[in-house]
Every structure is written in C-alpha cells, then in structure tokens.
Structure 1
Amino acid sequence: MPARDVLRSLFTGWRRPTTHPVDAQGESADSLIGFVLAAALVGVLTGVSAASFRLLLEQGARLRGHLAHWAHGTWWGLIVVVLVCTAAAAIAAALVHRVEPHAEGSGIPRVEAVADGRVRPDRFRILPVKYVGGLLAISSGMALGREGPSVQMGGTAAVMVATLTRRNIADLRILVAGGAAAGLATAFNAPIAGGVFVLEELVKRFDPRTTVATLVASASGFAAARLLMPSRYEFHMKPLADPRLVESGWVLAIGLVTGLLGVLYNEAVMRALRRADGSRWPKEVRAALTGALVGLIVWAAPDLAGSGDNLTQNALVEHGALVAVAGVLALRFALGVVSYAAATPGGLFAPMLVLGSHAGLLVGLVAVHLTPHVTPSLAACAVIGMAAFFTASVHAPVTGLILATEMTGNTNQLPPMLGACAVAMLVAIALRSQPIYDRLTQRAAESSAAAAE
C-alpha cells in the first residue's frame, strides 16, 4: 500500500481491501492504531491549550492583586477597580451571548451531552470564545474555576481532530470524552482523576474503547502540559499523622456537614440559573452587575476573589480562626452561586474545593474546642472535606478521593476520606438531590432543543 494510503488509513479508518487482522468488532488493526493516535493528538492539543490557559490565569490573578494594591493609594482607586471588573465580566458575557452561546458556564455539562449523543458536536469557534471569555471572567475575580473551560476546550479539540481525520460519530463522541479527561488532568495536575472523572461521571461506563481513549488522551495531555509548566502538587501540605479509629466520629460529622452543604449548593446554583433564565435583563448587564460586585470584593479583600486556590491552600495549612473560616465559607458559597449565574465561562470544581476544605476545617475547629484529644488534625479535616463535598455535589466518590489525593500528594487519609464520602453520598441520596452535572447537562440539552425549534 502506498505511504499516502497508509497514513490516511491510520487516522481515518479508510482502507483498501486487505488481509489485515480484524478485531471482534470488525475493525482493522490499522484503524485501531489510528484511533489511538487521534486520541493522543486530542490530548496534546488539549494539554497545550489548558496549560497556556492556566498560566495566563495565574498572570491575571497577579495583575488583579497589583490593581487592588494600587487602588488603595488613591481616592479614585475603588472606581477603577470596579470599572475594570465590570468591563471584563460584561465582555466575557457578550462573547458568549453574541458569538457562541454554548460557551456559557462550566462546559462540562455541554461536553457530557455531546458525549452522550443528546446534542450535536460543538462548533470550532467555541474554543477561542471559551479561552478568551474564561480568561476575562476568572481574572476579573469571579468565583469560577479553570477546569470547566479546560474540559470544554478539550472536547472541542476532539471535535476538530475527529472531523479532520474523518472519524465516525461514535468515535467522535469517545474522543470528546478523552479530550475532557485531558482538560481536567491539565487543569489540576491530576491525570488519574481526569480519566476517572470522565469514566465515572461523564460517560458512566468503562468499556475498553472509551477507557483506552480516555487514558491515552489524559496521559498525552498531561505530558504536553509539562512543556509549559512544571509538574507539581496542586496544594502543599505537611505530612499528616495516620488516622485513628477514635477520630471516626468527627470524620462522619464532616461527611454529614458537607453532604448537607453540597445539597444546598446544588439547589442554590440551579435556582440562580432558573432566575437568570427568566430575567428580561440582557446577559451583558447581569454580568456587569456581578462584575461590579466582584470589583468591590477585589478592592476590599482581594484574597477572597477569584477561583479560590489560595483559600483552599490556606485551609490545608490550618490557617484561620473559627469565625473567619465560617465567614469565608458563607461569602464564597454566595459568590460562587452568583458568579455561575452570570452567563460567563467558568467552572465549578475550584469553588467546590474551597467550600469543601473550609467546611472540613470548620468542623475540625469545633472538634478541637470540644474534644481536643480525639480530633483529626485540622489539615486532615480540610482534605477530607474537599473529597466529601465534591462527592455530595457531583455523586462521583471515586473521583473525589483520587482528586483530593493527587492534588495534595497525601495518601494516608484515604480511609477517613472514604468514610466521609460515604456519609456525604448517603445524605445526598436520602435528600433526593440529583448530581449537579446531571442537572446542568439536562439544562444544556433542553436549551439546545429549544434553540433548534
């Protein structure tokens, strides 16, 4: 076979009649190799996109901090900060509303709907809109995460690769799932959690073809991202003491508190979105008002704005008194809900980590006052809370366990995390709370159906 035909067959599955081996599903070995190569290419494109996105967000956070510091040196500094944040949020919303409506919000629900076949694959332009809009919205100080845009950029990269290599629609959907895994792996330096999340939550199946594509894309994306940024744990923690059985009562209390909080958070997000959907105000105006609110927070307390990685880090190093931790938890709960309803690009994962870590830390601070000798360390309470809150909201306990472990590098807290996640999941099920991404995916599918009519 000529070299041109070999390359074409590898990527597209096209082939002349040959005697090549064929698998049980009727697929040639050449086509299977091409599928794996396509998944690797999706991972590389996603890794580069998500890594550069993350680096620019870090630069944006530094600029926001410098702006807030400068603003306190002049009487009109507050006005400048509010105007900058307002303009950034409004432009981000305008990009979504006027250029690509499907770039709104996290992007994970949209990717899930595409992978499940409920909506048509996204257009290519969603990637630049998500990239630029996400930079503006998150850098302005909104309580949104980078993982949602990274996942959707990965899904769009998969659509591009599948289209250019002429993969069929079934392969396209699998590659979209792989791109999502690569996006999450890069966003949080968590390649295993990226793959597991897609298999556990996004596609909800572990068939060999999907698993291979997901793992290959996740690994290649993580490797490509290393070209732009070093490999490191997302959060730094001191070594934790091994858990003790006498501490189990407080561990279960963390599961109970985060379970209730996760249910409330899901309901608050969905109610805010319903109110936003029913509003007659233009999306740009609503986003501008949210940006103005965020601008006030940036001026008054810049550390409380943004995705919140610094806040999660503080909780994991046991920083904060009881009243201060409760205040941060309440503020970030409300700010996260308001920010997500502003119709700008941005994810939910990072805000969830802030809420979970602070809820766990809050329980730990109460425990220290009541039973100081049978209490887990405050850092352990924070990391347990991260996993348990994620479980209550997303209903993906395996992902929660692996994500918290990969992001902190701590492995000896897996047993208490498992117990807290079980309780949080039980609370969510008992209260009939649906997973947040299932509810958002249904909303995305209904929105697409309405737009098609």
Structure 2
Amino acid sequence: MILLKHKNFYLILGHWIFFGSIIGLIVGSATTFLLETNDYLGDDIRSKRDWLIFLLPFGGIIIGYIYMNYGKVFLNNTLNDTAELNNLVIDSVHGKKEVPRRMGPIVYLGTFITVLFGGSTGREGAAVQMGGSVSAAVNKFFKVNKFDKKIFIMSGISAGFGSAFGAPITGAIFGIEMAALGKLKFEALVPCVTASFVGHYVTTAAWGHKHEEFIIQKVPEISSITFLKVILLAVIFSLMSVLYCQLRHGIQNFSEKIFKRNHMKRAFFGGIVIVALTLIVGSQDYNGRGLQMLQQSFSEEVPTFAFLGKLVFTAVTLGSGFVGGEAIPLFFIGATLGNALHTFIDLPMSFLAALGLIAVFSGGANTPIAAFLLAIEMFNGKGLEYFLVACLVSYLFSGHHGLWPSQKIYDPKSRLYNLPPGETIENVEKKKKSTKHN
C-alpha cells in the first residue's frame, strides 16, 4: 500500500514536470517570437515612420474583424470569446470556460497590429494568452483529466509571464496568484515552476533574447522615516493603479454600449481618438510600448505628467478594443510618477522610479507576492524590505479593483468588506454602482 502511494506520488510528479516542460518549451519559443517581432515593429519600423499612426484606426478595423469573425468558439455548449483576453484565461482556470487553441495566434496578430500602428500597449497579455492557448492544445492532444487541465492553464500563464520579462520565479507564482485574491493553489507549484523556468531559459539561453535592464543606482539606508515615506508613496501608487483600471474599464463599457459591442467600430473610433491625442501632445512618446522613457525615468528627469499621458493613451487603446499587455504600461505609469515625485520627496530618483514601477503593478494586478518577487529579480535584490512593504500597502489600498474583472475574491482584503467568497471583481463593481443608484 505504501509502495503504491509512493509510486503514484512519483508518477504524478513526473507527469507535472513532463507537461510543464512541454508547455515551457513551446511558450518560451512563442514568447521569443513575440518579443523579437514587437521590437522589430516598434523600434525598427514604427519609430522611424511617424505617419503610421494615421493607419491605427484602420488597424482597429482589422483587429475587430478578426475577433468578431474568428474569435468566438463554442466548446462544451459555452461561448468562449477570445476578445475577453486575460479574463477568458482566468475563467478557464476556474473551470467556467475554455481557452480556444486559436486564442494565441489571434492575440499575437492583434498585438503586432497595435504595436506597428502606435497603440499604447505591452506584451504580457499576449504572452499569457498564448500560454493559455498552448496549454489548451496540450490538454486536448494528451487528453488530460479535468483536474490537471486547470493546473496546466496556470502553467501556461507562468511560462508566458516568466519568459516575457526574464523573471522565472515571478512567473511561477504569477500563474498561481493571477486567478484569485486570497487563495493560492500550491498544488500547481511544480508544473508552474517547471514551465516558467523552462520558458525563461528557452527565451534567453536557447534563443538568445536579451531583456531590458532597470538599475537602481542607490537605495536609501533603512530608517523609520524612509519606511513612512515608502508607505505614503505606496498609497499614492495604489490610487494611480485604481485610476487606470477604472478609466480603462469605463472606456470599454462605454464604447461597447455606444457601438453595441461592434468590435470594428469600437476600435476604429478608439484609433481616431489616439491619433487626435497624439497630435495634441505633439510627440509619440506615449504610443507603442514606451520602453525608452521607461528606462530614462531611472536616470534623468522625464516630463512631469508623463504618467498621466501614458495612463490615458493605454486606457483608450485597450478600452476601445486594441490588444496587448498592461504590465509595461503600468511599469511606465509607476516609474514616471515616481520620477515626478522626486522633486517633492528626498529619495534617490532610480529608487522612486523602481518603487512606482512595482507598486502600481502590485495594486493593478492584485498580485503582491509576484510583484515583490519581480522587484527582487528585476533589481537584483536591492531594497527588498522597502519593496515588500510597498507591494503589500499598494495591494491593500487598491481595494477590490483590478486589471481583470474575472479575478475571484476568495478572501476580502479587509474584514470591513462584507463579501461572499468567490465573488468576482466585476460583480463587486456592479453591486457598488447599483447601491449608489439606489
């Protein structure tokens, strides 16, 4: 009996490592293609041709057409709409829906169009959705049981995030933490760790992709005054994450209502708004990924309201139906806000930029552990005491808001919130609005 238990244990362990490795290999290679193509389209083509921004509305029509005609798939008598993006991946982790295998290729195509024509977006959304898509294909090909299906979707998320940012430890936890607040499925650790590390090393060692580096030049000495400043700053950064999430979802709900969920019309109109905003601003600093200004915010002063520019551009881009990730825009918003606050708060500029980058991401994604691990990996362990406090404070003060309405709240962030377990962020938002109207 004991031998049988041990045999089953090692069989399941081997099973998880095997499938985690397959998912990591495929997603790592696919993510490298995403990163290299985005760099080529954004840096080599778009940045040298300012006029491409005027084609953004027409790019929106193409994206809308693809999602409306090829993005909806019926599986197990349930409509799975790939236009729900990361929310569909989260729903599949909870077993409510399934990720269609076509989701990855569609989101890649949409992201490339968005980046090429100057929409403000990032990369992790596409990598996570490709991870979900690959996991769905692996699940179907190997006829994986229902229980492991959810775990392998988490592994796909881990592989996508870990390889997209060169942060395999973060990726491993992000895959588990992304789907729900207050509940971590540690059973998924083995395949998630395997997929994230394999994906990362495939991207960097096998394919030779080099990730961006962000360097903190100086970390302040440990003191109670500095901790108080960090707490205050984390509250400000968390409110900025809430502002972004509310604006982005507000624009999405408004555009869907006005255009009766016609993705082509929504994206076309959104593209026109982005073109108009670009002409008003007089530069393309807030189009595309904005990696140059993001890195610049660690070493020299950037425009004071750069964080607000990126916030509006990204909220309009993604809220109107273009696709891509939200992590890099959140990094940009946080880092440039930290840079702007350097004028008022006596802390090193690079430290403030780093603090903003991590804290805004923590508040928006509702993933404080993954955000803290990202700080350790991204900044080589510098100032980790401060980052731990900033991540937790930002997570708490952002309330039950977030990038992904499908996130489930298993435990409220405070007992002051009287919420039933398993409520989604979307439902909490709707109840708040109905209470206000009543």
TM-score normalised by structure 1 residue count: 0.81
Match of 1:348 in 2: 326
Match of 2:152 in 1: 175
Q: Shift of residue 136 of structure 1?
A: 0.8
Distance 1:427 1:340 in 2: 24
Q: Shift of residue 396 of structure 1?
A: 1.7
Are positions 1:212 and 2:183 aligned together? no
Spell out the pairing of 1:99-178 with structure 2 (5 A cutoff): 99-101=70-72, 102-104=81-83, 107-119=85-97, 121-178=98-155
How many residues in Structure 1 have an aligned counterpart in Structure 2?
398
Distance of aligned partners of 1:238 and 1:254 in 2 relative to their CA distance in 1, 3 Å threshold: closer
| CA deviation map 1:97-139 (0-9, x unaligned) | 221143326x3222111011121x2222222111111111133
- SS state of the match for residue 218, structure 2? coil
Give the letter aligned to residue 406 of structure 1.
E
Match of 2:21 in 1: 40
Give the letter aligned to residue 222 of structure 1.
H
Distance of aligned partners of 1:37 and 1:343 in 2 relative to their CA distance in 1, 3 Å threshold: same
Distance of aligned partners of 1:297 and 1:22 in 2 relative to their CA distance in 1, 3 Å threshold: farther
- SS state of the match for residue 437, structure 1? coil
Q: Shift of residue 330 of structure 1?
A: 1.5
Alignment partner for residue 287 of structure 1, among 253, 260, 267? Answer: 267
Are positions 1:422 and 2:392 aligned together? yes
Match of 1:61 in 2: 42
**Which residues of structure 1 form unaligned runs of 5+?**
1-18, 69-79, 368-374, 446-453
Distance 1:274 1:297 in 2: 20
- SS state of the match for residue 398, structure 2? helix
Residues 21, 29 of structure 1: 8 Å contact kept: no
Distance 2:292 2:65 in 1: 29
The structure 1 segments of at least 4 consecutive aligned residues displaced by more than 6 Å after TM superposition are none
Distance 2:158 2:407 in 1: 18
| CA deviation map 1:248-273 (0-9, x unaligned) | 34322311211221222222222222
Distance of aligned partners of 1:83 and 1:435 in 2 relative to their CA distance in 1, 3 Å threshold: closer
Residues 53, 117 of structure 2: 8 Å contact kept: no
**Which residues of structure 2 form unaligned runs of 5+?**
73-80, 409-423, 428-438
Match of 2:376 in 1: 405
| CA deviation map 1:285-338 (0-9, x unaligned) | 221222234345667412321122222212122332xxx222x11211111111
Distance 2:259 2:290 in 1: 31
Give the letter aligned to residue 283 of structure 2.
A
Spell out the pairing of 1:249-398 with structure 2 (5 A cutoff): 249-280=228-259, 282-295=262-275, 300-320=282-302, 324-326=303-305, 328-367=306-345, 375-398=346-369
Distance 1:22 1:139 in 2: 56
Distance 1:54 1:60 in 2: 10
Which is higher, the Rg of structure 1 or of structure 2?
1
Residues 297, 305 of structure 1: 8 Å contact kept: no
Match of 2:432 in 1: none
Residues 243, 376 of structure 1: 8 Å contact kept: no
Spell out the pairing of 1:427-446 with structure 2 (5 A cutoff): 427-429=397-399, 433-439=400-406, 442=424
Distance 2:405 2:13 in 1: 31
Spell out the pairing of 1:172-211 with structure 2 (5 A cutoff): 172-202=149-179, 205-207=183-185, 209-211=187-189
Distance 2:374 2:331 in 1: 10
Distance 1:315 1:57 in 2: 22
| CA deviation map 1:370-409 (0-9, x unaligned) | xxxxx210110110111211222222212112223323x3
More helix by share: 1
Residues 119, 287 of structure 2: 8 Å contact kept: yes
Distance 2:17 2:149 in 1: 12
Residues 43, 219 of structure 1: 8 Å contact kept: yes
Distance 2:360 2:9 in 1: 45
Distance 2:184 2:236 in 1: 31
CA RMSD, Structure 1 to Structure 2 (Å): 2.6
Q: Shift of residue 21 of structure 1?
A: 5.3
- SS state of the match for residue 322, structure 2? coil
Alignment partner for residue 81 of structure 1, among 28, 52, 55? Answer: 52
Distance of aligned partners of 1:203 and 1:250 in 2 relative to their CA distance in 1, 3 Å threshold: closer
Give the letter aligned to residue 247 of structure 1.
T
Residues 103, 345 of structure 1: 8 Å contact kept: no
